[in-house]
Structure 1
């Protein structure tokens, strides 16, 4: 495949979109002495969550301290945010919660990670065909995040129960109907990160690491969505892919990964 060569101005816009400060001030969310996220100062007040069994104001360092057993306290907070319309789409999926130092402190419902500014982990697969064209998916138009935008062939969150490799295997089947042995020349390509406001919730903030893998789909191997979260698939040559990237038709995450994988 010809290497992607998007305009420098587009690269600058992508970098700015991928690493942008919050729209409004945020304060730390602490647990056992480690910062695990951030929130808008009045979020818990808006949700009717007063200081008590699960939260207390941290006057010494600023922000809020999680009280009690972390997973149980985060579950209570997530439910209150859901019931007051301050959470994202509820998924019944637990994600790992780690401190800035990497210590695992507990898990939390996926719907609460953006309001709480909790760092997440995702995995993506980008793939080419035998001619070097890039296989891509268009996200379903009813997806709660980035509906209808173009994306890598496969992408999804890494839940607390999975390793990165397990998440890649599961997502590759659910989103593209492919098994890992069908992928040729599969390799871990790298990791990109993003920190930016969350478009779907004004009080949300994205902090995410994305591990990406690259592979080749041989002739006759065609993706077929299994979970209803993909509108369709197609291959794009470098010129079309560059044009659509510059037109803003891709998610920020996909643009970062495609540039890392195929950018000149």
Structure 2
């Protein structure tokens, strides 16, 4: 879905300009997104397989929930909205803990350069996987895997090609923060 997004500068500051998401991707303009990683107290992490029709990284495993922040939308509001839309889970601000903001550049060819500032959070998943309701247009599958397996496959590089390439430091930050909660 094409939506209006705020345009950011190279440091992640708002420029006061907005554009359609497709235009931001075509021109390689930075824009804000949210990433929410869900984990369970028994040391599992929720991952989603991106939909087959996704413009970027179709059918790769990725963050539990991710999405664009609409123009003028508050970051935290976007995080809460995206969790509800993508996995059918109602959460509040108190359920989210911010890890940080990560600059991300993915060149997908001449027509698409995705430049984002990913506002990244963790949240505890307190319901069983089968109770989640995936957004069919966005999410191919959901899985709960052991955190140690996720670590091996992402920054241990045992099977990194099945994941969206967010970079080792990004994945290390997520894993470290979740380990602190267990």
TM-score by length of 1: 0.58
User: 1:41-190 residue pairs with structure 2 within 5 A?
Assistant: 91-99=1-9, 102-181=13-92, 185-190=95-100
Tell me how far 1:227 sits from its aligned partner. Answer: 4.8
Structure 1's 212 and 98: CA in aligned 2 closer, same or farther, altered over 3 A? closer
Tell me how far 1:104 sits from its aligned partner. Answer: 3.0
Distance 2:40 2:97 in 1: 15
Offset from partner CA, 1:141-189 (integer Å, 9 cap, x none): 22121111111110011110311011111110111100114x9852111
Which has more strand, going by share of residues?
2
Is residue 48–residue 142 contact of structure 2 (8 Å, CA) maintained in 1? Answer: yes
Offset from partner CA, 1:3-39 (integer Å, 9 cap, x none): xxxxxxxxxxxxxxxxxxxxxxxxxxxxxxxxxxxxx
Tell me how far 1:235 sits from its aligned partner. Answer: 0.8
Is residue 141–residue 147 contact of structure 1 (8 Å, CA) maintained in 2? Answer: yes
Offset from partner CA, 1:112-136 (integer Å, 9 cap, x none): 1123121111101101112011111
Structure 1's 103 and 241: CA in aligned 2 closer, same or farther, altered over 3 A? closer
**Alignment length (residue pairs):** 171
Tell me how far 1:93 sits from its aligned partner. Answer: 0.6
Larger radius of gyration: 1
2:115 corresponds in structure 1 to 207
Is residue 39–residue 125 contact of structure 2 (8 Å, CA) maintained in 1? Answer: yes
Structure 1's 250 and 180: CA in aligned 2 closer, same or farther, altered over 3 A? same
2:153 corresponds in structure 1 to 244
Aligned Cα root-mean-square deviation (Å): 2.5
Distance 1:256 1:175 in 2: 25
Offset from partner CA, 1:61-106 (integer Å, 9 cap, x none): xxxxxxxxxxxxxxxxxxxxxxxxxxxxxx3311112455735332
2:173 corresponds in structure 1 to 260
Structure 1's 243 and 99: CA in aligned 2 closer, same or farther, altered over 3 A? closer
Structure 1's 217 and 260: CA in aligned 2 closer, same or farther, altered over 3 A? same
Q: Structure 1: which 5+ runs fail to align?
A: 1-90
1:194 corresponds in structure 2 to 104
Distance 2:169 2:65 in 1: 14
Q: Structure 2: which 5+ runs fail to align?
A: none
